[in-house]
């Protein structure tokens, strides 16, 4: 094959100038490592964040409409002044119960006293059956069997040195810890880590608001129903005026995920500058290679080598350098990316997933294409040379 001799000559030339070719390839390698690592870090971070947030992604939170601005503090932390009426609650149950589990939440910030210490903390009032369903992860103890026993969050227990059986007062009433809820992280529905969770009956006798919840949470069976339920509640309850507000937690999760993606894409963009530097170096080396071999080009042309074969020879050279750099880049990206992500994120659970590893061939392809593109102009210059002029060169 004529291709063979052209390829063979390209390979030999790369070998003759091995150090130069390797240095150029290293440029590509560095570029590939930076974009592959950034890409992998991004997808691992997104996966990790999504996982930690997805626990709350299947929830809808219905709260009373608090007027202009639509604000009213973070969800699950309402002040207890705005409540949903009993009929509103019933209506929400009627609309949403076919899509998932619906429960009402009482919440208030109340004074807690232990010994001489006194501070404010979040207090929730939930039916015991709701506790069993929603807070099904106790680190110790059990669910309240009487009205004056409560669950407390893991952080709350640790901070205040409380154990199962410990006693303290909430809003003036003495309570006993019956169980400790495992840490759940930040969530939109109920944030129990730093809270006291009492029975609905005790909450209502301490803080009033009988059957008037601060918020109603819907745990969807199917996350894809979120829009349907939101629309149903909106159309049936906010027809004449805004009475309730529905927050779809999956939207927040996707917002956070997309923010992470944006940040890492930006980082990848910055990393790709190193590929640009590599491209300049390949360009330079290919120009040198063409200039050094003007006479050889003259000989090749005079004995019957076509322009496009000269072009191909130089493009093959650039491609070879690219393949060398890209292969090295891929191997190093795999190793460095693994450790990099281990250090940055703390785990490599998502490292060997499609979304993460796809950045390797992607970065390789970008590196290779850039390499070939930078070799194209020098190759074209070589091919366009006048054979007589080229033969005269020393």
Which residue from 236, 306, 347, 353 is in contact with other proteins, where contact means CB under 8 A? 306
Residue with smaller CB distance to other proteins, 3 or 210:
3
The one segment of 6-14, 255-263, 321-329, 332-340 that binds other proteins by CB under 8 A? 6-14
| Site residue total, other proteins (CB under 8 A) | 24
* Residue 235 CA: distances (Å) to CA of 46, 229, 242, 245, 312: 34, 10, 10, 12, 67
Indicate the burial class of 92 (C-beta count within 10 angstroms; 0-12, 13-18, 19 or more): buried
265-304 binders of other proteins (CB under 8 A): 295-296, 298-304
The one segment of 70-78, 158-166, 253-261, 306-314 that binds other proteins by CB under 8 A? 306-314
Minimum distance from residue 383 beta carbon to other proteins (Å) = 10
**Calculated CA dihedral for residues 360, 362, 363, 369, nearest 10 degrees:** 140
Minimum distance from residue 274 beta carbon to other proteins (Å) = 32
7-26 binders of other proteins (CB under 8 A): 9, 12-13, 16
Q: HEC states along 6-59?
A: HHHHHHHHHHHCHHHHHHHHHHHHHHHHHHHHHHHHHHHHHHHHHHHHHCCCCE
Minimum distance from residue 28 beta carbon to other proteins (Å) = 24
The alpha helices in 181-306, defined as continuous H runs, are 200-207, 226-237, 249-271, 273-292, 294-302
Q: Cβ contacts of residue 227 below 8 Å, gap of 6+? A: 248
If one counts every other C-beta atom within 10 angstroms of the C-beta of residue 110, the result is: 20
Minimum distance from residue 386 beta carbon to other proteins (Å) = 8
Which residue from 48, 78, 91, 305 is in contact with other proteins, where contact means CB under 8 A? 305
Minimum distance from residue 379 beta carbon to other proteins (Å) = 16
Minimum distance from residue 317 beta carbon to other proteins (Å) = 12
Cα separation, 125 vs 183, whole angstroms: 18
Spatial contact of 71 and 41, defined as CB atoms under 8 Å apart? no
Residue with smaller CB distance to other proteins, 313 or 341:
313
Minimum distance from residue 390 beta carbon to other proteins (Å) = 10
152-191 binders of other proteins (CB under 8 A): none
Minimum distance from residue 297 beta carbon to other proteins (Å) = 10
Which residues on adjacent β-strands are paired with residue 176?
149, 167
Residue with smaller CB distance to other proteins, 17 or 230:
17
Minimum distance from residue 26 beta carbon to other proteins (Å) = 24
Residue with smaller CB distance to other proteins, 4 or 117:
4
Residue with smaller CB distance to other proteins, 14 or 341:
14
State yes or no: residue 349 binds other proteins (CB under 8 A). Answer: no
Cα separation, 144 vs 44, whole angstroms: 40
If one counts every other C-beta atom within 10 angstroms of the C-beta of residue 237, the result is: 20
State yes or no: residue 365 binds other proteins (CB under 8 A). Answer: no
The one segment of 2-10, 183-191, 224-232, 335-343 that binds other proteins by CB under 8 A? 2-10
Cα separation, 210 vs 185, whole angstroms: 29
Spatial contact of 75 and 215, defined as CB atoms under 8 Å apart? yes
Closest CA to 218 of 181, 248, 256, 182: 248
State yes or no: residue 343 binds other proteins (CB under 8 A). Answer: no
Q: Is 153 helix (H, G, I), strand (E, B) or coil?
A: strand
State yes or no: residue 2 binds other proteins (CB under 8 A). Answer: yes
State yes or no: residue 307 binds other proteins (CB under 8 A). Answer: yes
Binding site for other proteins (CB under 8 A): 1-2, 4-5, 9, 12-13, 16, 295-296, 298-307, 309, 387-388, 391
């Amino acid at each position: 094959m004529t291709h063979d001799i052209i390829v063979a000559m390209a390979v030999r030339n790369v070998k003759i100038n091995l150090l130069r070719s390797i240095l150029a390839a290293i440029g590509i390698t560095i570029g590939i490592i930076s974009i592959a690592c950034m890409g992998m870090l991004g997808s691992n971070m997104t996966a990790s964040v999504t996982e930690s947030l997805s626990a709350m992604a299947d929830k809808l939170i219905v709260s009373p409409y608090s007027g202009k601005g639509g604000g009213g503090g973070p969800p699950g932390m309402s002040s207890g002044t705005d409540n949903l009426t009993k009929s509103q609650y019933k209506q929400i149950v009627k609309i949403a119960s076919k899509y998932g589990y619906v429960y009402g939440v009482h919440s208030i910030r109340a004074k807690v006293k232990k010994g001489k210490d006194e501070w404010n903390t979040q207090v929730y009032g939930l039916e015991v059956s709701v506790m069993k369903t929603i807070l099904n992860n106790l680190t110790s103890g059990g669910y309240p069997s009487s009205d004056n026993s409560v669950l407390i969050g893991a952080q709350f227990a640790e901070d205040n040195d409380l154990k199962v059986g410990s006693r303290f007062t909430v809003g003036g009433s003495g309570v006993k810890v019956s169980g400790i809820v495992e840490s759940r992280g930040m969530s939109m529905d109920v944030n129990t880590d730093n809270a006291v969770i009492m029975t609905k009956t005790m909450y209502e006798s301490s803080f009033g608001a009988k059957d008037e919840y601060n918020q109603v949470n819907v745990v969807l069976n199917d996350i894809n129903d979120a829009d349907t339920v939101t629309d149903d509640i909106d159309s049936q309850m906010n027809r004449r005026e805004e009475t309730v507000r529905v927050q779809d937690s999956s939207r927040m999760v996707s917002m956070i995920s997309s923010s992470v993606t944006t940040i890492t894409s930006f980082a990848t963009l910055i990393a790709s500058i190193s590929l640009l530097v590599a491209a300049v170096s390949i360009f330079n080396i290919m120009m040198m290679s063409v200039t050094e071999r003007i006479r050889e080009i003259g000989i090749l042309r005079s004995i019957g080598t076509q322009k496009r074969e000269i072009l191909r020879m130089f493009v093959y050279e650039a491609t070879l350098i690219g393949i060398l750099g890209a292969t090295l880049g891929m191997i190093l990206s795999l190793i460095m990316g693994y450790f990099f992500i281990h250090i940055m994120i703390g785990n490599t659970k998502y490292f060997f997933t499609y979304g993460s590893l796809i950045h390797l061939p992607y970065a390789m392809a970008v590196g290779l294409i850039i390499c070939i593109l930078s070799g194209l102009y020098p190759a074209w210059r070589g091919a366009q040379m006048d054979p007589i002029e080229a033969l005269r060169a020393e």
